[in-house]
Amino acid sequence: MGFLADNLSRIKPSATIMLTQMARELKTKGKDVISLSVGEPDFDTPDNIKEAAIAAIRRGETKYSPVPGIPELRQAVADKFKRENGLDYKPSQVIVGTGGKHVIFNALMATLNPGDEVICVAPYWVSYPEMVALCGGTPVLVSASQQHDFRLRPEDLERAITPRTKWIILNSPSNPSGAAYSRSELKALTDVLKRHPQVWVLSDDIYEHLTYGDFEFATAAQVEPELYDRTLTMNGVSKTYAMTGWRIGFAGAPERLIKAMDMIQGQQTSGTSTISQWAAVEALSGPQDCIPRFKAAFQRRRDLVVSMLNQARGLKCPTPEGAFYVYPSCAELIGKKTPGGKVIASDEDFVMELLATEGVATVHGSSFGLGPNFRVSYATSDDKLEEACRRIQRFAASLT
C-alpha cells in the first residue's frame, strides 16, 4: 500500500508555477531572464489600503477571525456586489477565503460527488480541472477556439451538458486568453443553462475591473436573474487592487452553499488573516482612483505587446478585451527547427526553447487545454515588455 493519496495521480503540477520557478532559478544562476509567466500586477498596493492594515494592527485586530470573514468585510462585499453588479447578497450570503482559489476549491469540495461533471472552457485557468479532480468530480473540457475568439458558443455548451453536469465555470475576462463575454454573449449561454436546472454557475470575476476600450463587464446572475439561486459569484482584491500577497477572495451565493463552504473552511483553514481583511474593507469601500490608473497602464501594455507579437514571423496574436494576458498562436512555427537543429514539435517545445535561448519565460497553451498557443502576461514594465517582445521576434525569426 502506497503512502501518498491516490488522488494525487489525478492531477498535474501547475504549469504557470513551474515556468515561473524555472525563470527564478535561471535568474539566481545569473541568466538575464524576463518573466512573463506570472499573473500578478507589478504595481504596489495603494497606500490607503496599506495604511488601513497598519491601523488594524495598531488597534489590536490580530485575533482569530470568524470563519466566513469579519462582519465589516462581508458587509463591504455585499455592498460591492449591489453597487457594481446589481446583485443583492446579504452578508450571510457572503464568504471570505484565503484567495479566490480557496473559495473555488471550497465550493467544489462542498458540492461534488464522484461522477459529478464540471464544464471547464478551454483555454482554462490551469487550476480549474485539477481542483475538480481533487474534489472527486470529473472535468469536462469544452473548447472555445481562437476561431471563435476563445468564447464558448451556446451550441457547444448545450452538447456538453449531461444529467451528471453539476457546474460550469465561467471566467470572464479569461485567464489565459483575456477574452471576455459581452452581456448578449452571456445571455446566450444563460438561456441554455435555464433549460438545465441541475447545472450551477461558478462565475469567476477576478478580472472584472481590467477591461479595455468600450467593453462593459457583466456577470451571469446579473444578466439572468433566474440563475441567481444557482450561481456562485466569485471575486477578490488581488488583481484589481494589486493585492496578490494579501490573499483575500470572496463570493456571494445562496445561503445553503455558503453554510456548506463555511463548514469546510472551519475544518480546513478557519478565517483568513484579520489584517488582510481590514485592508480589503478599505480596498472595497475607500477611494477607487487606482483602478483607472492601473487600467490605463494595462491597456497601453496590451496594445504594445499585441502589435509587437503580430510583427513576429509565424505568430498571430488576437487583441483581448480584458485581464493582462495575450494568447498568441504559434501554429505556423510547429515543425520548424532551431539553429541547433531541435524540432519545435509542440507549443511546450516553443516555450522551453524560448526560455533557454532568449531568457523569456511564458507558459505553453497546452497546459491551459488549447494549443498550439502560449500565454504572455503583460503585467510588467513597458521597457521589459519591449525587450521581451524583441527577443520573441528574434527567436521566431531564427526558426527554419
Question: Are 119 and 160 part of one and the same domain?
Answer: yes
Instruction: Give the CA diameter of the chain.
Output: 64
Residue 9 pLDDT: 83
In the chain, % helix, strand, coil (3-state, to 5) comes to 45, 15, 40
The pLDDT assigned to 66 comes to 98
Residue 2: the pLDDT is: 83
Positions in the chain short of pLDDT 70: 1
What one-character-per-residue DSSP string does 150-180 give? Answer: T---HHHHHHH--TTEEEEEEESS-TTT---
Locate cell 449531461: which residue?
Answer: 162
- Whether 1 maps to a domain, the answer reads no
Amino acid 112: pLDDT: 98
What is the residue-wise DSSP string for 333-395? GTT-B-TTS-B--SHHHHHHHHHHHH-EE-EEGGGGT--SBEEEE--S-HHHHHHHHHHHHHH
In a domain? residue 355: yes
Residue 149 counted as domain residue = yes
pLDDT for the residue numbered 17? 79
CA distance linking residue 94 with residue 91, whole number of Å: 5
- The rounded distance, in Å, linking the Cα atoms of 106 and 122 is 22
Confirm whether 255 is domain-assigned: yes
At residue 102, the pLDDT reads: 98
Same domain, 129 and 213: yes
Domain termination residue (choose one: 285, 301, 336): 285
The whole domain housing 80 covers 47-285
pLDDT score recorded for residue 23: 79
Is residue 244, in this structure, part of any structural domain at all?
Answer: yes
130 and 211, same domain (yes or no): yes
CATH of the domain at 352: 3.90.1150.10
* pLDDT for the residue 255: 98
Query: Do 365 and 221 fall into the same domain?
Result: no
Q: Can you give the pLDDT at residue 30? A: 83
> Tell me, what's the pLDDT at 21?
82
What is the pLDDT at residue 27? 79
Residue 334 is predicted with a pLDDT of 98
Task: Give pLDDT, residue 291.
Answer: 98
pLDDT recorded at residue 10:
81
**Which amino acid is residue 83, in one-letter code?**
R
